[in-house]
Amino acid sequence: MSPRENILCVGLCCLDIVSQVSHFPKEDTDQRCLEQRWQRGGNAANNSTVLGLLGAKAAFLGTIADSHEKRFLLEDFAKYGVNTEQAVVCKGCECPSSCVILSRATASRTIIHSNKNLPELSVEDFAQVDLTPYQWIHFEGRNVANVAQMIKLVREHNKGLPRGEFITTSVEIEKAKPELEALIPLADVVFVSKDFAAFKGYSNKAETLERVKALAHPGAVVVCPWGEEGASACQGSGVMVHSPAFPPASVVDTLGAGDTFNAATIFALAHGSALEDSIRFGCRVAGAKVGVIGWEPMRGLLGSGTLLLKNEASLAT
């Protein structure tokens, strides 16, 4: 394995308060849920969890509030082997949090997010990070003006290096926000969600890939996960490749399915797998995730990520 196997995930870390309910509640009622838990959340935080579970050397870079939740969040990163040495602790801020309702009846996950005053990561914060250990840097699509500058800094860093030592950049275009489009031309690998596609009026994966490819830089990889329909991807003028979804016996927790798919696909690409194999690996790992509650049971399912890549069909879903 490459000595530069580190993958850095840049973006949000928040607290998720997750309630499992049998049916989505009626407005203005009072009921008990099946189960309620605290879970570390945020797309980049979730990406790093999955990479840690797969056995990658994963690191998280983002801001963390210096509030009472900090200990829970940092201990939880450590549980999954995620390095948080670069995270920027912000004094006097409240921890962003989400109330998440998981419905057993429909397998939906409804998220109500709040971020009162935690600042976004600044370009200056990013510029202080030594980039040399990283093989891959993944950016969550938020904080657009700063992230655009950060990706440019990575490109500058690459200029002085032999091609084989370039840091690959990826970006996730997930939320229905027009400003995210500005990040599409910048990264080597672009993940586009079906929510963003719906917001743009694209009706399927093929149309989404065509439209996004036209904005991406020549030769970039574009990947589009699409829930139960699996995922498709293309690179430059190459053919489109597809993977079906791999549904588990019963879908119980879809929170972070997209984050899981993206992380597992990055893991496979970073290990040199072909694009079609990589998105199939992403779909298999995400399929396993939606069949279990939270992240902990994934340990037993995944084992060693590199072994799994060689024999992904062994993934016990």
**CB-closest chain residue to ligand ADP:** 258
Contact flag: residue 46 with ligand FRU (CB under 6 A): yes
Number of C-beta neighbours around residue 259 at 10 A: 27
Q: Report the residue from 41, 62, 287, 294 that binds ligand ADP according to the rule CB under 6 A.
A: 287
From ligand FRU, ligand ADP, none, which one binds at residue 123 (CB under 5 to 8 Å depending on kind)? none
Which of 286, 277, 300, 299 lies closest to 253, judged by CA?
Answer: 286
Contact flag: residue 193 with ligand ADP (CB under 6 A): yes
From ligand FRU, ligand ADP, none, which one binds at residue 46 (CB under 5 to 8 Å depending on kind)? ligand FRU
Contact flag: residue 294 with ligand ADP (CB under 6 A): no
Which of 10, 43, 49 lies closest to 187, judged by CA?
Answer: 10
- Cα Rg for the chain, rounded, in angstroms? 19
Which of 191, 153, 154, 180 lies closest to 169, judged by CA?
Answer: 154
Contact flag: residue 51 with ligand ADP (CB under 6 A): no
**For residue 236, how far is the Cα from the chain centroid?**
23
One character per residue 209-228, x = contact with ligand ADP (rule: CB under 6 A): ----------------xxxx
Which of 71, 76, 38 lies closest to 60, judged by CA?
Answer: 76
Number of C-beta neighbours around residue 140 at 10 A: 25
d(CA 96, CA 18): 14
Contact flag: residue 42 with ligand FRU (CB under 6 A): yes
Count of residues in contact with ligand FRU, rule CB under 6 A: 13
Q: Report the residue from 111, 176, 274, 316 that binds ligand FRU according to the rule CB under 6 A.
A: 111
Q: Report the residue from 230, 264, 270, 275 that binds ligand ADP according to the rule CB under 6 A.
A: 230
Contact flag: residue 194 with ligand ADP (CB under 6 A): yes
d(CA 67, CA 250): 37
- Judged by beta carbon, residue 21 or residue 257, the one nearer ligand ADP is 257
| Nearest-approach distance from CB 272 to ligand FRU, in angstroms | 27
d(CA 90, CA 96): 12
Contact flag: residue 16 with ligand FRU (CB under 6 A): yes
d(CA 122, CA 168): 21
- Judged by beta carbon, residue 202 or residue 226, the one nearer ligand ADP is 226
Greatest alpha-carbon span in the chain: 62
Which of 215, 177, 214, 217 lies closest to 193, judged by CA?
Answer: 177
Which residues of the chain form contacts with ligand FRU (CB under 6 A)? Answer: 14, 16, 41-43, 46, 98, 111, 113, 255-256, 258-259
Which residues of the chain form contacts with ligand ADP (CB under 6 A)? Answer: 107, 193-194, 225-228, 230-231, 245, 247, 251, 254, 257-258, 261, 283, 286-287, 290
